[in-house]
Amino acid sequence: MTNYFKEALEYKDELIEKRRALHQIPEVGLDLPKTKAYIKGELEGLGLEVKEYGTSGLSTIIQGEKGKGKCIMIRADMDALPMNEESGLPFASTGNTAHTCGHDLHSSIALTAAKVLLKEKANFKGTVKIMFQPAEEIFAGSKMMIENGVLENPQVDRALALHTALDRETGSICYNEGYFATSSDNFKITIKGKGGHGAYPHTTIDPIHVAVNIYTNFLELIARECPPQETSTLTFGMLSAGSNSNIIPDLAEMQGTLRAYNPEVRNKLKSRMLEIIEGLKISTKAEINIDFFTGVPSLYSDPEFTREIVDYIKNSDFDGEFIPDTKIMASEDMALVAEKVPTAYFSVNCKLPGNNFSHHNPGVNFDENMMPIGLGLMLTAVVNWLNNNWFALKKALRFDHFALTSKALISWSNFYRSVYDSNSSFMGCFFFAPE
């Protein structure tokens, strides 16, 4: 068992320095030229090779020296949000973008993890891949990097990610065995009616009336058609129509978001939304179009893998609190990685006393003391998992025992000793067969 939480404290100043440098160059979306240049420069400064993926996606690899093995990936998101920062910090951003979700902390942790893993490469088997992704906030970065091969060469066997949390002050790690974050389906509804005088509504097709019907019917889906034991929510964040009190407009527009943990519930609700729209087209005679313009599945934290990582941390030098059964109603495009690779996802609390703002608020700030905890989590997780899950050949060939001749056994033994520890129970899976 290898512990890294106390060692991670030695890197606190470096973590803070990197975080504050990133905090002052926030960028949104897929194209992050300043952020990309900073992270690429830091990695190349360590002597690491950096691979690029599409627009601003980056990865690097640290190869353990104890032998071949599996590949585990750390994901860090890099993008910010389109808002003016109001934190009052001396290193606050000055433009119309700001790191108000903590991605600057995530990237600082991943950069520092790369440095420590390079120093520790003699102590682990296998490969660590670190993924730096843009556009998490618009659910585009992970998809783009997957399509460009980030999970390949080498093929990723497991993935890890963490996120800042503001439920408690610093000192606790949250997790769930199963769904951690909801799916998200953002939608836009356009209603085209027939405008006219407010005194003669019978001569019009009132798009506001149609919008009210849509609003009511959609919310009733959650109340009456979503199973009570399932959690889901449907929220309208925009409704726009009209310009005067006595004019019925031609057009109305609505935007909202649907969220659910259970994929079956998600699909059922989306299907029913489409059915309601079709019914209202007939009953109101309005032209109604609905467009699901962004979407991401729910984030599934693989139970077996998550339990394994939690066990490593519980048996490490971490002296904080574990909070199980944590689920959030926000969404995260790490879900796309989790669909393809067993993933463990954690949140690390970092609420500053007196700062009562939430994520995505211009006034939010995060306790930088969480970063050594996040670094310790990542290091403890990846090194111990690699060292305890190195034997991929057994899984690939689906065997429990080999029947080998003595010559074959000698050959396998020499190979084993050249690549793996002599203390492993590997040799116990062989027995002699007659020559």
**pLDDT tens-place string over residues 127-170:** 999 999 999 999 999 999 999 999 999 999 999 999 999 999 99
Mean pLDDT over 61-85 rounds to: 97
Looking at the domain that runs over 184-296, which CATH code has it been given? 3.30.70.360
CA distance linking residue 358 with residue 371, whole number of Å: 18
Q: How far apart are CA 405 and CA 31, in angstroms?
A: 58
Q: How confident is the model at residue 406 (pLDDT cuts 50, 70, 90)?
A: very low
Q: What percent of the chain has pLDDT over 70?
A: 90
- What does the domain layout of the chain look like in residue ranges? 5-181+298-388, 184-296, 400-432
Is residue 3 scored above 90 in pLDDT?
A: no
What is the rounded end-to-end Cα distance, in angstroms, of the chain?
41
pLDDT at 398: 42
Cis peptide before 207 (omega within 30 of 0): no
DSSP 3-state percent helix, strand, coil across the chain (nearest 5): 35, 25, 35
**What DSSP element (H or E) covers 154?**
none
Q: What is the pLDDT of residue 435?
A: 37
Cα separation, 271 vs 424, whole angstroms: 53
Average per-residue pLDDT for the chain? 91
75 token code pair: 């994901």
pLDDT value at position 131? 98
Whether cis (ω within 30° of 0) applies to the bond prior to 263 is no
Instruction: Write out pLDDT tens, residues 326-359.
Output: 999 999 999 999 999 999 999 999 999 999 999 9
Question: What is the reported pLDDT for 392?
Answer: 44
Question: Residues 255, 234: contact at Cβ < 8 Å?
Answer: no
CATH number of 5-181+298-388: 3.40.630.10
Q: Which residues contact 93 (CB under 8 A, 6 or more apart)?
A: 23, 24, 25, 26, 80, 85, 99
pLDDT score of 391: 58
Above pLDDT 90, what percent of the chain? Answer: 88
